Amino acid sequence: MTEHPDIVVLMAGRTPFEAQVIAGVLAGAGIPVYVDGALLTDPVAVSATVTNTEQIDIHVPADRLEAAREALRASSEAAHLLDDPEFDPGDRTDDV
């Protein structure tokens, strides 16, 4: 990716799948996100990305960096709730 002063690395995903999940959380929070290699169409480049043993950088606009961190914290907290056997999400369907 070409260096741009308004785009910063938020974090690195350990796998392409993890990077895309993180990107999905950020996009869902309305934060623009770019994952290294996400736009590859060359089969050789795609193969290199899929078998990547390096981490995959996840970029966001510099002015949205803190919002991106907060979105990931909130997502992580929600995921922990789902692991709690006493958590009851209830039958609310009016929010859907």
Does residue 20 lie in a domain region?
yes
36-42, long-range: CB < 8 A, 24+ apart: 36/1
Domain count, the chain: 1
pTM for this structure? 0.68
Does residue 89 lie in a domain region?
no
31-46 pLDDT, tens digit each: 999 998 765 555 555 5
Does residue 68 lie in a domain region?
yes
- Residue 31 belongs to what domain range? 7-83
43-88 pLDDT, tens digit each: 555 555 555 557 889 999 999 999 999 999 998 877 777 677 776 7
Sheet holding 34-35, edge to edge: 7-13, 56-61, 34-35
CA distance 35 to 29: 16
